[in-house]
Chain A
Amino acid sequence: METIDLTLIWALIIALGVFMYVLMDGFDLGVGILFPYAPGDTARDIMMNTVAPVWDGNETWLVLGGAGLLGAFPMVYSILLPAMYLPVLVMLVALIFRGVAFEFRFKAKQSKWLWDVSFTVGSTLAAFSQGVILGAFIQGFEVVDGAYAGGMFDWLSPFSIMTGLGLVAGYALVGCAWIIMKTTGDVREWAYSIAHRLLYVTLFAIVVVSVWTPLMHDAIAQRWFSLPNFFYFMPVPVITAGLAVVFYRALLQRRDYLPFFCALGLYILSYTGLAISLWPHVIQPDITLWEAASAPESQLFLLLGVLFTLPIILGYTTWTYWVFRGKVTEHSAGYH
């Protein structure tokens, strides 16, 4: 077994899990963020119905991220969560309010507006606190003997607020692209009308975070701007810029599916950039993947299960997306 680096495989699996989460819950949180700006109540019903059958499965990736982190990188789990006590609390409460809104909104009559608010505020706060967690993760934590030793507000900084706002914009963008893809008529027209602005804001956030991150850590600046690394990594920003142009034109040409896949591409590229910056540290500035890993027998035991089940999960997840394919209209049936 010595030849196989289980820890590396696990890093890739967790990275995949987090990516799946950010993408999939990203669009349904994005739908929630855009909720109040929608043109009317029917539009809101339609928007919610585009994500209602799948949001639960999407959110399960977050639970997998949490449990997988505990299983493969317990040190990260047991440092990150105490350090992020308050942002995690806000995220959980936000996810509660938005999760129950799916059920309650269609049952409510006079109090429907209340669950609209709960859905929007919940989605927005969940996105924001996830962005804050990301920002604090990039900043790094004070660790003594493998345990978090900082205060309860160390995460709070201009940078983490920036990443929080950035992720709200990013989720709103992918949510908007999702609405374009899944709806017709007025709702889709409205989504086109706001997509440009969301694209600008998201690109602005990507640029700011990309510039700010190397300014915070010399090692990261070193990684990007030393030669020959600079040339190896150059494609990441260049392709990002190219994709932004494709995205813009796709919106102009009123393409149905392309904007969503452009948003997907932007996510992958930002994610790649982040990985280049942070590698191989899982707790900035100096705990590596291998130091934070769980015991090899635990990683192996879990890996066998995951390698077996993940293709099945992806299979039936694809099947449900296929079942609910196509446009959602006000006539689409629910069980309510």
Chain B
Amino acid sequence: MDLDPLLLSRIQFAFVISWHIIFPAFTIGLASYIAVLEGLYFKTNNPTYLRLSKFWIKIFAVSFGMGVVSGIVMSFQFGTNWSEFAYASANFMGPVLSYEVVTAFFLEATFLGVLLFGRDKVPQGAHLLAAIMVAVGTFISSFWILAANSWMQTPAGVEMVDGVFRVTSWIEAIFNPSFPYRLVHMVMAAFLTTGFFVVGVSAWYLLKGRATESARVMLSMTLWLLLVLAPAQVFVGDMHGLNTLEHQPQKVAAMEGNWETQSHAPLLLFAIPDSEAETNHFEIGIPSLASIILKHHADGVVPGLKDWAPEDRPVVGVTFWSFRVMVGIGFLMVAVVLIGLVLRLRGRLFDAAWFHRVCVGMLPLSFVAVLAGWLTTETGRFPWVVHGLMRVEDAVTPALTGGVVLASLLVYIAVYAVVFLAGAYYIVKIIQAGPDREDVPAGEDTQEELRRRPSRPLSAVDQTFDTPE
């Protein structure tokens, strides 16, 4: 059989990781949002916050569940398909991934139970604590997993002994050169994704004239956050790019579609890179701009792909285009939040229907941006699994046969199609039902509130205000 287990394993890994990353990208931000809503409710007793929190917790539960099950797949992929990589890198990857489990996964999973099912079983403060712990868990998890990924991009603090990496400095290995940039860039991306999701859903409610009160609260508070985050992300992304230029110049060459090492390198807006002919077709570019962005000077020399042997070059076409998609959406986000600010200042934020349509359109795009970003950095690392030290063809499990990997790939495609479509369907249903429909329609929240009052201090004080008698 001519099936190549290496190629199929790569496709399989790309497939399962791409589906997986969608959920963390969403739940990292959402966990914090829920913690904020719970905190606001704790502080103000305003039932709108409770209603919103309950609504988002349902969506969180579905996405977190899908993140967990697709994440378990990830923790076994290394061993099943990349056993040589697993074995060689275990001295670093093993402890780092285990730290993620003991410091983050248990925290998230355990307190999630209390967040979902414990509202009536624990004091409100403990419930808020659970919400905060889940959010903290998502951050700790990002820390470790991005340390692991960044180490594969910019390895440090290790030496190769008898075919395995031995750690010489944990600090250097964990805080490897690209880690701080990637961590900040990814966590902000997660917040942006969640933010645009919330904005998109709120805008949809406003368009439909439903749940107006809740939608306004969500839209307003989230757009404030995004107004800071979206421009900041452009800035962080630029710094991340400069860091990549320093440590993985061939990746930047592929991102820019730049074949010749040159000064006055143009920023290509459009091109079809051709790896065979080592050139681009149909180039449209802005002269010298790539040099200015990367070197802050038109004379700056930008590395070209031809500096590397063909077998050492990244996947140019994918890296080039996914980078453009990510950056394009990033600037679109900035434009949207700025327009939002202008509308807000003119007092028209809640009735500009065209803007709400744009916001709904941004919802899927924010996920596309995360995927495109990861595609850029991962295909840009190719042909290395550990940059400069271990190639992908040396990483794959030797005992694998193409037939078996093809079978597992097809199984994953089929299973993910069913499961994630169903998940998306239920999330859409929750959104359609809306925050105000709740099992407790607006106003009855306060009734439920009253039943729980005795467990809280000052419970008697505002009781009379809430009871419409």
- Same complex: yes
Contact B87 A75 (CB under 8 A): yes
Residues of B within 8 A of A56 (CB): 65, 68, 109-110, 112-113
Contact A152 B113 (CB under 8 A): no
Contact A152 B430 (CB under 8 A): no
Total residue contacts A-B, CB cutoff 8 A = 241
- Closest A residue to B95 by beta carbon equals A302
Q: Within 8 Å of chain B (Cβ to Cβ): is A335?
A: yes
Q: Within 8 Å of chain A (Cβ to Cβ): is B308?
A: no
Q: Within 8 Å of chain B (Cβ to Cβ): is A334?
A: yes
Between A78, A93, A95, A150, the greatest number of chain B beta carbons within 10 A of the residue's beta carbon is seen for A78
Contact A78 B83 (CB under 8 A): yes
Contact B90 A96 (CB under 8 A): no
Contact A104 B422 (CB under 8 A): yes
Contact A301-B95, Cβ < 8 Å, known A70-B79, A147-B399, A306-B102: yes
Contact B106 A66 (CB under 8 A): no
Contact A305 B404 (CB under 8 A): no
Q: Within 8 Å of chain A (Cβ to Cβ): is B86?
A: yes
Contact A306 B98 (CB under 8 A): yes
Residues of A within 8 A of B397 (CB): 82, 148
Residues of B within 8 A of A152 (CB): 399-401, 404
Mark the stretch among B116-124, B275-283, B312-320 that contacts chain A: B116-124
Contact A60-B105, Cβ < 8 Å, known A82-B400, A85-B404: yes
Mark the stretch among B53-61, B245-253, B385-393 that contacts chain A: B53-61
A259-305 residues with Cβ-Cβ distance < 8 A to B are 294-295, 297-298, 301-302, 305
Residues of B within 8 A of A298 (CB): 90-92, 94-95, 167
Say which residue of A59, A67, A100 sits within 8 Å of B422 (CB atoms).
Answer: A100
Residues of A within 8 A of B72 (CB): 59, 62-63, 92, 95-96
Say which residue of A57, A72, A146, A309 sits within 8 Å of B94 (CB atoms).
Answer: A72
Q: Within 8 Å of chain B (Cβ to Cβ): is A245?
A: no
Q: When chains A and B are docked, how far (Å) is the Cα of A96 from the Cα of B103? A: 23
Contact A81-B83, Cβ < 8 Å, known A56-B112, A100-B422: yes
Contact B83 A148 (CB under 8 A): yes
Contact A97-B419, Cβ < 8 Å, known A103-B426, A152-B404, A295-B167: yes
Q: Within 8 Å of chain B (Cβ to Cβ): is A64?
A: yes
Mark the stretch among A165-173, A234-242, A248-256, A316-324 that contacts chain B: A316-324
- The count of residues in chain B whose C-beta lies closer than 8 Å to any C-beta of chain A is 71
Q: Mark B74-100, 1 if CB is under 8 A from A, else 0.
A: 011011100110110011111101111
> What's the dominant secondary structure at chain A's contact region?
helix
Q: Within 8 Å of chain B (Cβ to Cβ): is A310?
A: yes
Q: When chains A and B are docked, how far (Å) is the Cα of A71 from the Cα of B62? A: 31
Distance between A245 CB and nearest chain B CB, rounded to angstroms: 36
Contact A70 B110 (CB under 8 A): no
Say which residue of B109, B112, B399 sits within 8 Å of A148 (CB atoms).
Answer: B399
Q: Within 8 Å of chain B (Cβ to Cβ): is A52?
A: yes
Q: When chains A and B are docked, how far (Å) is the Cα of A67 from the Cα of B97? A: 6
Residues of A within 8 A of B408 (CB): 85-86, 89
A7-44 residues with Cβ-Cβ distance < 8 A to B are none
Contact A335 B117 (CB under 8 A): yes
Q: When chains A and B are docked, how far (Å) is the Cα of A126 from the Cα of B164? A: 33
Counting chain A residues whose Cβ lies within 8 A of the other chain, the interface size class is: 35 or more
Q: Within 8 Å of chain A (Cβ to Cβ): is B271?
A: no
Contact A81-B79, Cβ < 8 Å, known A104-B422, A298-B92, A335-B117: yes
Say which residue of B58, B90, B109 sits within 8 Å of A70 (CB atoms).
Answer: B90
Contact B113 A57 (CB under 8 A): yes
Contact A324 B117 (CB under 8 A): yes
Contact A324 B121 (CB under 8 A): yes
Q: Within 8 Å of chain A (Cβ to Cβ): is B415?
A: yes
Q: Within 8 Å of chain A (Cβ to Cβ): is B328?
A: no
Q: When chains A and B are docked, how far (Å) is the Cα of A229 from the Cα of B69? A: 44
Distance between A56 CB and nearest chain B CB, rounded to angstroms: 4
Residues of B within 8 A of A102 (CB): 65
> What's the dominant secondary structure at chain B's contact region?
helix
Residues of B within 8 A of A95 (CB): 69, 72
Q: Within 8 Å of chain A (Cβ to Cβ): is B170?
A: yes
Q: When chains A and B are docked, how far (Å) is the Cα of A85 from the Cα of B400? A: 9
B144-175 residues with Cβ-Cβ distance < 8 A to A are 164, 166-167, 170
Distance between B416 CB and nearest chain A CB, rounded to angstroms: 8
Contact A67-B101, Cβ < 8 Å, known A77-B86, A82-B400: yes
Q: When chains A and B are docked, how far (Å) is the Cα of A294 from the Cα of B92? A: 10
Q: Within 8 Å of chain B (Cβ to Cβ): is A74?
A: yes
Contact A54 B113 (CB under 8 A): yes
Contact B86 A78 (CB under 8 A): yes
Say which residue of B65, B100, B101, B114 sits within 8 Å of A103 (CB atoms).
Answer: B65
- Closest B residue to A336 by beta carbon equals B58
Q: When chains A and B are docked, how far (Å) is the Cα of A265 from the Cα of B121? A: 30
Residues of A within 8 A of B83 (CB): 77-79, 81-82, 147-148
- Closest A residue to B408 by beta carbon equals A89
Contact A100-B69, Cβ < 8 Å, known A66-B75, A81-B76: yes
Residues of A within 8 A of B400 (CB): 82, 85, 152
Contact A53-B113, Cβ < 8 Å, known A70-B98, A100-B419: yes
Contact A295 B101 (CB under 8 A): no
Residues of A within 8 A of B321 (CB): none
- Closest B residue to A13 by beta carbon equals B98
Residues of A within 8 A of B119 (CB): 333, 335
Contact B114 A57 (CB under 8 A): no
Between B103, B117, B430, the greatest number of chain A beta carbons within 10 A of the residue's beta carbon is seen for B117
List 8 additional contacts besides A67-B101, A305-B102, A323-B114; criterion CB under 8 Å: A53-B118, A74-B90, A85-B80, A96-B73, A99-B68, A107-B429, A107-B430, A335-B54
> Can you list 13 A-B contacts with CB-CB less than 8 angstroms, sorted by A residue number?
A59-B109, A70-B93, A77-B90, A89-B80, A89-B408, A93-B415, A96-B70, A96-B73, A149-B399, A152-B401, A294-B90, A306-B102, A323-B118
Across the A-B interface, the 9 shortest Cβ-Cβ residue pairs: A71-B94, A81-B79, A74-B90, A53-B113, A70-B94, A302-B95, A78-B87, A78-B83, A56-B109
Report B's interface with A, CB cutoff 8 A.
54, 57-58, 61-62, 65-66, 68-73, 75-76, 78-80, 83-84, 86-87, 90-95, 97-103, 105-107, 109-114, 116-122, 164, 166-167, 170, 397-401, 404, 408, 411-412, 415, 419, 422-423, 426, 429-430
